[in-house]
Amino acid sequence: MSNLLPSSEQVENVSQFFQIHPENPQARLIKQAVEIIRKGGVVIYPTDSSYAIGCQIGDKTAVERVRRLRQLDDKHNFALICSDLSQLGLFAKVDTGLFRLLKAHTPGPYTFILNATREVPRLLLHPKKRTIGLRIPSHPIALALLEELGEPLMSVSLIMPGETDPMSDPYEIRQLLEHQVDLVIDGGFGGIKASTVINLADGEPEVIRVGCGDPAPFMVEA
């Protein structure tokens, strides 16, 4: 983890740490968290699968901070965390059949790779495929943030470089990353598996990553 040591510019800035109730999020703290996001902040927050790192979708500086933190290349499919299917439909090309499939499995611990609409900022797109990950979580804190923000969050799972599983202890997260993010939301101990990733951009469903969502409904029999 030595490559994650804060730079000299970051040492002075220590992230805020909000303890938010995982079932009944405090409106005051949700509002403060969204203010941080709107000002270009990078936040760590809980979802129904695991903790995730998020920022505003059009904020290039914040997106690059997330990319550096996770050490992601330009081929990584970022995800937009949406509040519901109507919001998801603004950012992805969804026909009737696809809509039915998504409706049957959202909200839930799945990230769907879909063909993006022009509403998606170019810096979030896969460079060759024009695809984007989309997700509708069922976690009260994540949904409260989305409702207050009024738009999707750009997000990736909190899986650190060299690791295969997400970080789950908010106090360990705070200790490791307090100089590299602007806010850590403590919503209790998080899940140890990321979302299950399903590619729906090419017609037939393809399971890209098995996480805490059951992949069986998307398995195509040979």
- What single DSSP character describes residue 124? G
pLDDT for the residue numbered 7: 38
Q: Enumerate the domain spans of the chain.
A: 14-213
Q: What is the share, in percent, of the chain residues with pLDDT greater than 90? A: 81
Asked whether the predicted pLDDT for residue 11 surpasses 50, the reply is: no
pLDDT tens for 165-178 read: 999 999 999 999 99
Q: What is the 3-state secondary structure (H, E, C) of 16-58?
A: EEEECCCCCCCHHHHHHHHHHHHCCCCEEEECCCCEEEEEECC
Which ranges in 79-179 belong to alpha helices (H)? 85-91, 96-105, 140-149, 170-177
pLDDT band at 12 (very low <50, low <70, confident <90, very high): low
Name the percent of the chain lying above pLDDT 70: 93
Predicted model pTM:
0.90
Per-residue DSSP letter, 11? T
Least confident range from 90-99, 123-132, 157-166: namely 123-132
Burial label, 104 (beta-carbon count in 10 A; 0-12, 13-18, 19+): exposed
Nearest to 154 by CA among 119, 104, 202: 119
Integer Cα distance of 138 and 81 in angstroms: 11
Which fold does the domain 14-213 belong to in CATH? DHBP synthase (3.90.870)
pLDDT band at 221, cuts 50/70/90?
A: low
> What confidence score (pLDDT) does residue 9 get?
40
Cβ pair 137, 144 in contact under 8 A:
no
Instruction: Give residue 2's pLDDT band: very low, low, confident or very high (50, 70, 90).
Output: very low
